[in-house]
Homo-oligomer: A and B are copies of this chain.
Amino acid sequence: MTADNPATAVRLLRLRTRLLSLASIHSDRRVNEALGEVGARKWHYAVLATLEEFGPASQADLSDRTRIYRSDLVNVITELAAQDLVERSPNPADRRQNVISLTGKGTDRLLELDKVLRGAEEDFLAPLDAGQREQLGELLAILTRDRGH
């Protein structure tokens, strides 16, 4: 039934950097599939979640908080605005900036995506028990902390 892949070299099985890449590919694929089914992308979620927690913000601020490049953020905001999930309006206090704010519809969407992502994460983490999932979260948090672009 399954492909029954031949064995992988021990060197490769022991390479944690490689395992990380493979795991990330699986994870991303699952997440993108799940979000794609409802017409969303990872970056959409990151922006909505950030707006919900910190309130209206400039695109530069959103870029810093989400680690999405400014140049990429432009399109993300445009997409979200086209769906009325966020509002983009000029900042009267600083005419260089836009103020991006979450709409009611955007909040609903965020809650919907919360569920979608919980489902995708559950699929991906299925082989791990609760304790192992906690461990993984902690280890990854350490590895990603204090590491800028």
Which residues in A have some Cβ–Cβ distance to B below 8 Å?
2-3, 5-24, 26-28, 30-31, 42, 45-46, 49-50, 52-54, 61, 64-67, 114, 117, 120-121, 124-125, 127-128, 132-133, 135-137, 139-149
A125, B17: Cα distance in complex, Å: 9
Seed contacts A8-B66, A19-B137, A127-B145; 13 additional CB < 8 Å A-B pairs: A2-B146, A6-B64, A6-B65, A9-B52, A9-B65, A15-B117, A16-B137, A20-B27, A21-B27, A21-B28, A22-B140, A124-B143, A128-B139
A54, B86: Cα distance in complex, Å: 55
Contact between chains at A12 and B137 (CB < 8 Å):
no
Looking at chain A's contact residues, the main secondary structure is helix
A2, B148: Cα distance in complex, Å: 8
Residues of B within 8 A of A66 (CB): 8-9, 12
A64, B66: Cα distance in complex, Å: 37
Given A9-B53, A19-B137: A26 in contact with B143 (beta carbons within 8 A)? yes
